[in-house]
Structure 1
Amino acid sequence: MSRLKGVADRDSRTGFRAERRDCGASVPQGLLKAARKSGQLNLSGRNLSEVPQCVWRINVDIPEEANQNLSFSAAERWWEQTDLTKLIISNNKLQSLTDDLRLLPALTVLDIHDNQLTSLPSAIRELENLQKLNVSHNKLKILPEEITNLRNLKGLYLQHNELTCLPEGFEQLFSLEDLDLSNNRLTIVPASFSSLSSLVRLNLSSNQLKSLPAEISGMKRLKHLDCNSNLLETIPPELASMESLELLYLRRNKLRFLPEFPSCKLLKELHVGENQIEMLGAEHLKHLNSILVLDLRDNKLKSVPDEITLLQSLERLDLSNNDISSLPYSLGKLHLKFLALEGNPLRTIRREIINKGTQEVLKYLQSKIKDDEPSQNNSVTETAMTLPSESRVNVHSIVTLKILDYSDKQAVLIPDEVFDAVKSNIVTSVNFSKNQLCEIPKRIIELKEMVSDVNLSFNKLSFVSLELCTLQKLTFLDLRNNFLNSLPEEMESLIRLQTINLSFNRFKILPEVLYRIPTLETILISNNQVGSVDPQKMKTMENLITLDLQNNDLLQIPPELGNCVNLR
Structure 2
Amino acid sequence: MRVGPGCGRLQRRGLSPGFERGSPADATVYPAIMSHRGGSRFANRRPGSGFQPRSTEPPVPAGLIKTARKSGQLNLSNRELSEVPQSVWRINVDPPEESHLNVSFSANDRWWDQTDLTKLILASNKLKCLSEDLQLLPALTVLDVHDNQLSSLPCAIGQLLNLQKLNISHNKLKELPDELWNLRSLKSLHLYHNELERIPEGIGQLVHLEELDVSNNQLLTVPSTLGDLSNLLRFSLANNKLKSIPSDINKMKSLKLLDATHNELECVPPELAKMASLEQLYLRHNRLHHLPEFPSCKYLKELHVGNNQIEYLNSAHLKNLSAISVLELRDNKLKSLPDEIILLQDLERLDLTNNDISSLPYALGNLPKLKSLLLEGNPLRSIRRDIINRGTQELLKYLRSRIQEQPTGQDDSCSATAMTLPSESMTNMYTMGTQKVLDYSDRKAIVVPDEVFDAPDRIPITTVNLSKNLLTGVPSRISELKATVTDVNLGFNKLSSVSLELCTLEHLIHLDLRNNSLTSLPMEIRRLQRLQTVILSFNRFKEFPNAICHIPTLETILISNNQVGSIDAFQLMQLDKLTTLDMQNNDLMQVPPELGSCVNLRTLLLEGNPFRNPRAAILARGTTAVLEYLRNRIPT
Q: Is TM more than 0.5 here?
A: yes
Coordinate RMSD, CA, aligned: 3.9
Counterpart pick for 1:109 among 118, 142, 153: 142
Alpha-carbon spacing, 1:27–1:286, altered in 2? closer, same or farther (3 Å): same
CA–CA distance in 1 between the matches of 2:412 and 2:572?
40
Map of 2:78 onto structure 1:
45
Q: Secondary structure at the match of 1:323?
A: coil
Written as runs of structure 1 = structure 2, the 5 A alignment for 1:406-485 is 406=487, 409-410=490-491, 416=501, 419=504, 431-432=509-510, 455-456=532-533, 463=546, 468=551, 478=555, 485=568
Structure 1, residues 23-46: CA drift from partner, whole Å, max 9, x if none?
666311110111111111111111
Give the CA deviation at 1:324.
Answer: 1.4
CA–CA distance in 1 between the matches of 2:630 and 2:406?
44
Alpha-carbon spacing, 1:93–1:507, altered in 2? closer, same or farther (3 Å): farther
Written as runs of structure 1 = structure 2, the 5 A alignment for 1:325-404 is 325-335=358-368, 336-373=370-407, 374-376=410-412, 386-387=473-474, 391=478
> What is the one-letter code of the residue matched to 2:245?
L
CA–CA distance in 2 between the matches of 1:284 and 1:65?
70
Give the CA deviation at 1:182.
Answer: 0.6
> What is the one-letter code of the residue matched to 1:431?
I
Count residues with an aligned counterpart. 501
Larger radius of gyration: 2
Written as runs of structure 1 = structure 2, the 5 A alignment for 1:97-176 is 97-176=130-209
* Pair 1:289-2:322 in alignment: yes
Give the CA deviation at 1:481.
Answer: 5.2
Alpha-carbon spacing, 1:241–1:26, altered in 2? closer, same or farther (3 Å): same
CA–CA distance in 1 between the matches of 2:141 and 2:170?
20
Written as runs of structure 1 = structure 2, the 5 A alignment for 1:204-283 is 204-283=237-316
Give the CA deviation at 1:525.
Answer: 5.2
Gaps of 5+ in 2: 1-5, 15-34, 43-51, 415-443, 447-467, 538-543, 560-565, 584-590, 607-612, 615-621
> What is the one-letter code of the residue matched to 1:362?
L
Alpha-carbon spacing, 1:433–1:193, altered in 2? closer, same or farther (3 Å): farther
* Pair 1:501-2:595 in alignment: no
Residue pair 1:2, 1:83 contacting (<8 A) in 2 also: no
Written as runs of structure 1 = structure 2, the 5 A alignment for 1:285-324 is 285-324=318-357
Map of 2:227 onto structure 1:
194
* Pair 1:486-2:564 in alignment: no
CA–CA distance in 2 between the matches of 1:119 and 1:310?
51
Deviates more, 1:154-163 or 1:342-351: 342-351
Tell me the TM-score normalised to structure 2 length: 0.69
CA–CA distance in 2 between the matches of 1:15 and 1:106?
26
Give the CA deviation at 1:314.
Answer: 1.2
Matched-pair identity in %: 49
Residue pair 1:227, 1:250 contacting (<8 A) in 2 also: yes
CA–CA distance in 2 between the matches of 1:414 and 1:107?
69
Residue pair 2:580, 2:601 contacting (<8 A) in 1 also: yes
Alpha-carbon spacing, 1:224–1:16, altered in 2? closer, same or farther (3 Å): farther
Give the CA deviation at 1:356.
Answer: 1.8
Alpha-carbon spacing, 1:58–1:440, altered in 2? closer, same or farther (3 Å): farther
CA–CA distance in 1 between the matches of 2:549 and 2:357?
48
> What is the one-letter code of the residue matched to 2:69?
R
Residue pair 1:414, 1:441 contacting (<8 A) in 2 also: no
Structure 1, residues 460-518: CA drift from partner, whole Å, max 9, x if none?
8664778557xxxxxx7625656865346996xx9xx8x66366675624777x8xxxx
CA–CA distance in 2 between the matches of 1:441 and 1:30?
78
Structure 1, residues 404-428: CA drift from partner, whole Å, max 9, x if none?
7336655976965675676xxxxxx
Alpha-carbon spacing, 1:414–1:282, altered in 2? closer, same or farther (3 Å): farther
Structure 1, residues 191-240: CA drift from partner, whole Å, max 9, x if none?
12111100111100110010111111111111111111000001111111
Counterpart pick for 1:550 among 619, 624, 631: 624
CA–CA distance in 2 between the matches of 1:88 and 1:177?
21
Tell me the TM-score normalised to structure 1 length: 0.77
